[in-house]
Amino acid sequence: MSLYSSAIIAGFGGQGIMLIGNLLAYAAMRQGLNVTFMPVYGVEMRGGTSSCTVVFSDEEIGSPIIRHPQGVIVLNQPSLERFQPRVEKDGFIIINSSLAQANQADTGRLRCFAIPANDLAEKLGNARLLNMVALGAYFKALGSLLPLESAENCLEQVSPGQSQSMLSLNAEALRAGYAEAKAL
Amino acid sequence: MEDKKIFIRGNEAVCYGALSAGARCYFGYPITPQSEIPEMMSKAMPEAGGSFVQAESELAAASMLMGAAAAGVRAFTSSSSPGVSLMQECISYMSGSQLPAVIVNMNRGGPGLGDIGSAQGDYYQATRGGGHGDYRTLTLAPSGCQEAHDMMIRAFDLAFKYRNPVLVLGDGVVGTMKEPVRLWTPSQINSHAAASWQVSGAAGREKHVLKSLYLLDGVLAAHNRKLQEKFAAMRAETEAECVETADASLVVVAYGSIGRIAKSAVRLLRSQGLKVGLVRPITLYPFPDKVLQDLAEHGKKFLTIEHNCGQMVDDVRLAIRGYADSDFHGHMPGAVPAMDDFIGPIEEAARRTA
Amino acid sequence: MNATPSLPGLVEGEELIFSPPRSLTPVPTHYCPGCHHGVAHRLVAELLDEMGLQEKTALISSIGCSVFSYNYFEVDALEAPHGRAPAVATGLKRARPDCFVFTYQGDGDLASIGLAEIMHAANRGDKISIVFVNNTVYGMTGGQMAPTTLLGQKTTTTPMGRISEDCGYPMRMAEIISGLDGTVYSARGALNDAKNIRQAKKMIRRAFEAQSTNSGLGFVELLAGCPTNWHMDALSSNKRIGTELIPVFPLGVFKDNGFAESGKGGGK
């Protein structure tokens, strides 16, 4: 059975969606996998909604554009409403329960995880870490497909110029998300 | 895994490929979805000892390209559909004057201003010359970031080999997606005797004049015959990727990003037992008609899928005429297709042709 | 290209005491009698010789009567699309900074279809030289109105004479180009009499020095006659330049940043 995974990460512009999309892709690449990363770009430079699609596989990847992903991370309520119905059957969803209604999770069809990403990030001392917390939860859902350390090890490449303390805070946020993700 | 891959956008891959190919001049004008190319070149070109100019228009960018090409220097420009339309003047002049240059088009939606999303509506423009007069541009169609990188290296060599503009026709998907790319540099760069024609000051030799105006009776005809022979010789460069065509009863034909999305659909349907294969043209001009003709001779049926209203399908039909016809599925510019969009059309074509 | 081209018509016993510039190809031109392109070519070629530029020169020819200038200058040359010569020159100069690159353009080419290209090349301060021949009319296509056509002047597209209400006003390019910061030299001369021709040569020299000293863009406008499309003989055409053109297009140097003269340091 070949290894294949597709994900859509969605939320508000400014939530750091492209960054964790890149981090996920990097982590997979460093594991020797094929990867595609496809950003959805709008005419606006700031604000609005934002999303990206990440596919990784140990085989050649055909389409980088996925309508029905195996997993999604939704960082806000509009993204939950928009992307949850599109997740493949038996796929999974990570819901940022700080900004989206976790009780709307489609537990009958999907594996659902809630993570209060904003709240946890603030507890860690930096509200902007919410994206890392959410990605940590995503790794939990991925299970053995990709280890969390692979993401931790790529933080520096994805955010060059970051201070060592900021990098370790990011790693901490990833781990917090992994630990705190609650299956619904 | 320790390999030398870096994770970059198609637009960046184009830049790395061009630099590895020895490009030392870039002229361009911002337009979505390829503005990363001028942005990156504005830094990388001076670092490589070359020159970057943000031109006042695509007209001027193509003109600057012509000037650098005439100097025998490896130069390129990039744009997206509306901008490439403006470049057609100089592309015609460069072909007429036999000048080597590389033009990258990250195809977006049209006609007119269209949108900023991916599309394939410039297929005709790319493969029919695009401007005035009887000329063709060798056209390469990358489907991903590694190919975008590698094709730039190939494009420069072909441009100088044939002394003709070469088009790299990507699209919004290829330009903006990211993939791991292995960077490499060709072991040597063949100038294809550019010193024998370049405009660089006539010290110690006869003057070189590069032009496309031939008024004397019969001279333009001879010039055109020579160009046509050259375009015919380009057939040696034809290339296509074939996926599971050997035992297929239906062959899907699709290029660029659509080619790889179709590949996913073909693989899925294969796993479900449908005898379907894929031909992905890698050179759009010259078109891989021999590959298709051979398949048609073996009784295959065809479905052409494009991100436009039907352009390459003409070339497919020309290639297989006398043996078969091709169905067509066009995904309308304005939205990017996913694999699911192609499943139904392929199944339907397979049923119709069964 | 090392030897002086052999001249037709020299017979045994005759001694050559004066020869045309090496930078001119010894062939007859296609220009009409009384046309000043020949004079302009001659001045340019003399300067390429005198300044030692011939062997590193790239001429960018334009579209119009002077499209065949590459047949008459004994230098490397490239034929640019209509109006684009300054952008083509920019590309060639950037690719080969050691080349001496000049464009030779008429008024339709430079001031109409190529206005954006000349403005931006000048504004970038590209190290190129522009020889702009202004005869107030499209020559090659048959005498249509140019951006520099005088008010009241009859052309094949202003049969009643140019009127400003419909067609605007003659553009003074030397003044316009002098207003851009990348231009280091801009001047207007005329080719209608010996005094003006001598003055014009000095101006072309400075426009070339702007480049040979690596200072910026050098621009020279040359008022020239077009007897054919002005429907007059050569002498009347020369006279018209003095009586009608110069009052609208005053002669003079509109900008000279004081860069060094050739042979007096300040560049190679």
Task: Tell me: pLDDT of B99 over 60.
Answer: yes
C231: left (phi over 0), alpha (psi -120 to 50) or beta: left
Q: How far apart are CA B58 and CA B35, in angstroms?
A: 13
Shortest distance between the Cα of A29 and any Cα of chain B, in A, equals: 7
Q: What is the number of residues in chain A? A: 184
Which residues in C20-46 are b (16+ Cβ under 10 Å) and which e? ebbbbbeeebebbebbbbbbbbbbbbb
B256, B203: one domain: no
- Average of per-residue pLDDT across C74-82: 98
pLDDT at residue C267 tops 60? no
pLDDT band at C68 (very low <50, low <70, confident <90, very high): very high
Phi and psi, residue B92, nearest 5°: -65, -45
Phi and psi at A131, nearest 5°, equal -65, -40
Q: Note whether B1 contacts A: Cβ–Cβ < 8 A.
A: yes
C117 pLDDT higher than 90: yes
Q: Which chains touch C (3 or more CB pairs under 8 A)?
A: B
Tokens of B192: 């294809």
The reported pLDDT for the residue numbered C7 is 61
ipTM of the complex: 0.95
Contact between A25 and B261 using a beta-carbon 8 Å cutoff: no
d(C-alpha B227, C-alpha B235), whole Å = 13
- The rounded Cα C126 to chain-centroid distance in angstroms is 17
User: What sign results for the dihedral spanned by CA atoms A42, A44, A50, A54?
Assistant: positive
**B32 has a chain C CB within 8 A of its CB:** no
Contact call for residues B126 and B169 (beta carbons, < 8 A): yes
Residue C10 has pLDDT above 90, yes or no: no
Beta bridge partners of B99: none
Length of chain C: 268
The DSSP result for C105-171, as a single string, is EEHIIIIIITHHHHHHHHHHT-S-EEEEEE-SB-TTTTS-B-TTPPTT--BTTBTT---HHHH----
- Amino acid, res. C187: A
Q: How far apart are the first and last CA of chain C?
A: 22
pLDDT digits (tens, 9 = 90+) for B321-335: 999 999 999 999 998
Q: What is the per-residue pLDDT for B112? A: 96
Q: Per the CB < 8 Å rule, is B207 touching C89?
A: no
Q: Do B1 and A32 touch (CB under 8 A)?
A: yes
Mark yes or no for CB contact B179/A36 under 8 Å: yes
> Is residue B187 located within the same domain as residue B285?
no
Q: Is residue C265's pLDDT more than 80?
A: no
Question: Which residues neighbour B42 within 8 Å (Cβ) at sequence distance 6 or greater?
Answer: B52, B54
CA separation for the pair B150, B145 (Å, rounded): 9
CATH number belonging to domain C37-256: 3.40.50.970
C89 in contact with chain B, both atoms CB, cutoff 8 A: yes
Percent of chain A with pLDDT over 90: 87
Answer whether residue B137 shows pLDDT above 90: yes
B7 and A31 in contact by Cβ < 8 A?
Answer: no
Give yes or no: residues B150 and B276 share one domain.
no
Phi then psi for B290, rounded to 5 degrees? Answer: -65, -45
Task: Supply the pLDDT for residue C261.
Answer: 84
Q: Do B214 and B253 fall into the same domain?
A: no
H, E, C per residue of chain B: CCCCEEEEEHHHHHHHHHHHCCCCEEEECCCCCCCHHHHHHHHHHHHCCCEEEECCCHHHHHHHHHHHHHCCCCEEEEECHHHHHHHHHHHHHHHHCCCCEEEEEEEECCCCCCCCCECCCCHHHHHCCCCCCCCCCEEECCCCHHHHHHHHHHHHHHHHHHCCEEEEEEEHHHHHCEEEEECCCCCCCCCCCHHHCCCCCCCCCCCCEECCCCCCCCHHHHHHHHHHHHHHHHHHHCCEEEECCCCCCEEEECCHHHHHHHHHHHHHHHHCCCCEEEEEECEEECCCHHHHHHHHHCCCEEEEEECCCCCHHHHHHHHHCCCCCEEEEECCCCCCCCCHHHHHHHHHHHHHHC
Does residue B106 contact residue B80 with C-beta atoms inside 8 Å?
A: yes
How far apart are the C-alpha atoms of B77 and B99, rounded to whole Å?
14
- Picking from B60, B65, B28, the residue whose alpha carbon sits closest to that of residue B44 is B28
Per the rule left: phi > 0, alpha: psi between -120 and 50, beta: everything else, B308 is beta
pLDDT at C260 over 90: no
- Cα separation values, B283 from A153, B154, B229, Å: 40, 11, 18
Query: For residues C111 and C148, is the Cβ–Cβ distance under 8 A?
Result: yes
pLDDT of residue A42: 54
What was the pLDDT predicted at B2?
Answer: 42
Q: b vs e for A115-153, b when ≥16 Cβ sit within 10 Å of the residue's Cβ?
A: bbbbbbbeebeeebbbbbbbbbbbbbbbeebbebebbbe
Inter-chain contact C95–B71, Cβ cutoff 8 Å?
yes
Q: What is the pLDDT of residues B169-221, one digit of tens each?
A: 999 999 999 999 999 999 999 999 999 999 999 999 999 999 999 999 999 99
Strand order in the sheet with B25-28: B51-54, B25-28, B75-79, B101-107, B165-171, B138-140, B283-285
Angle A164-180/A117-124 helices, nearest 10 degrees?
140
Q: What is the pLDDT confidence band of residue B60, given thresholds at 50, 70 and 90?
A: very high
- Say what the pLDDT of residue A160 is: 83
The whole-angstrom separation of Cα C219 and Cα C203 is: 9
AA identity, residue C100: F
Structural element, H or E, at residue C173: helix C173-178
Give yes or no for a contact between A60 and B243, defined as CB atoms under 8 angstroms apart: no
- B195 Cβ under 8 Å from any chain C Cβ: no
pLDDT under 70 in chain A at which residues?
A: 1, 41-48
Cβ atoms of A110 and A130 closer than 8 Å: no
Task: Say whether both B163 and B18 belong to one domain.
Answer: yes
Is the distance from CB of C154 to CB of C142 less than 8 angstroms?
A: no
In B, which residues are within 8 Å of A62 by CB distance?
Answer: 260-265, 267, 339
Do the Cβ atoms of C36 and C225 come closer than 8 Å?
yes
Judgement on whether residues B84 and B210 belong to the same structural domain of the protein: yes
Structure tokens, A182: 């609650």
Q: What pLDDT is stored for residue A2 in this prediction?
A: 84
Question: What number of other Cβ atoms are within 10 A of residue A89's Cβ?
Answer: 8
Q: How deeply is C178 buried, as exposed, middle or buried, from its count of CB atoms within 10 A (0-12, 13-18, 19+)?
A: buried
Domain that holds residue B136: 4-236
What type of residue is B250? L
Cα four-point dihedral sign A13, A18, A20, A24: positive
Return the bridge partners of B168, or none.
B104, B140
Residues B160, B264: one domain? no
Q: Which two tokens stand for residue B182?
A: 């292995």
> Mean pLDDT, to the nearest integer, of B256-261?
98
Partners of A22 on chain B (C-beta within 8 Å) are 7, 178
**Nearest residue to B6 (alpha-carbon basis) of B228, B262, B179:** B179
| Average pLDDT for chain C | 94
Are the C-beta atoms of residues B249 and B353 closer than 8 Å to each other?
Answer: yes
Q: How far is CA B75 from CA B30, B37, B50, C31, C235, in A?
A: 17, 13, 9, 36, 49
d(CA B334, CA B336): 7
Q: Which of B236, B269, B296 is the C-terminal boundary of a domain?
A: B236
Interface contact C92, partner B, CB < 8 A: yes
Whether residue C114 has pLDDT greater than 90: yes
Nearest to C188 by CA among C258, C133, C116, C120: C133
Which chain B residue has the Cα nearest residue A88?
B340
The reply to whether B243 and B97 lie within a common domain is no
Gap from A88 CA to chain B (nearest CA, Å):
12
Comparing C-alpha atoms, which of B14, B18, B95, B107 is closest to residue B62?
B95
Among B226, B236, B49, smallest CA distance to B158 is for: B236
Asked if pLDDT for residue B87 goes beyond 70, the answer is yes
The answer to whether B261 contacts A65, with C-beta atoms less than 8 Å apart, is yes
Domain count for chain B, please give it.
Answer: 2
Type of residue found at C76? D
C99 touches chain B (CB under 8 A): yes
CA-wise closest residue to B351 among B287, B276, B297:
B276
Question: Going by C-beta distance under 8 Å and a sequence separation of 6 or more, which residues neighbour residue C207?
Answer: C129, C130, C131, C185, C187, C218, C219, C220
| Closest alpha carbon within chain B to A24 | B7
Q: Give the CA count within 13 Å in the CB-facing half-sphere of B178.
A: 23
Write down which residue in B236, B265, B281 finishes a domain.
B236
Interchain pair B199, C92: CB under 8 A = yes
Q: Which residue of C has its CA nearest to B90?
A: C81
Name the pLDDT band for C243 (thresholds 50, 70, 90): very high
Q: CATH number of the domain that B71 lies in?
A: 3.40.50.970
